[in-house]
Amino acid sequence: MNKDVQDRMNASDKQLTTREKIIHCLEAAPMTARDLSKELRISEKDAYAHLPSIEKSIKHQGKQIKTIPCYCLSCGFVFKDRKSFKKPGKCPECRQSRIEAAVFGVVPD
Ligand SMILES: [Zn+2]
């Protein structure tokens, strides 16, 4: 393989930031933060932490993050109006903490 090609391959590998990788993943298929953490070998906390800035940066590309909201596994309460991407600790209805994680996708605006 000639050096030029090799350089370019290395570059394309390295230049993708974690945020870009998350965007790629979420464009390909909707995922939870846990799916992202497994896929990209980052912590779930990091995956959540990247989402607000990703939402801002993809706006300029005419895209948005589509969220399938978390819901309570105990009573079925859906966290529809949640402003944060993070998973809630407890259900406001039944106070249980068995919460199913939200699923995120990147879709055209
Ligand atoms: Zn509940």
Task: Show me where the domains of the chain are located.
Answer: 3-108
pLDDT tens, 71-99? 999 999 999 988 899 999 999 999 999 99
Cβ atoms of 97 and 90 within 8 Å: the answer is yes
For residue 103, the cross-strand partners are 68
Distance, CA 78 to ligand 1 centroid (Å)? 8
pLDDT tens per residue across span 17-68 = 999 999 999 999 999 999 999 999 999 999 999 999 999 999 999 999 999 9
Terminal alpha carbon distance of the chain: 41
On whether the 3-108 domain is CATH 1.20.120, my answer is no
Which neighbouring-strand residues pair with 64?
107
Q: What six digits make up the tokens of 1?
A: 């393989």
Environment of ion ligand 1 (residues, CB < 5 A): 72, 74-75, 77, 91, 93-94
Dist. CA 29–CA 2, nearest whole Å: 35
Centroid of ligand 1 to alpha carbon of 95 (angstroms)? 6
Q: How far is residue 11 CA from its own chain's centroid?
A: 24
Q: Ligand 1 mean position to 86 CA, how many Å? A: 17
Beta bridge partners of 67: 104
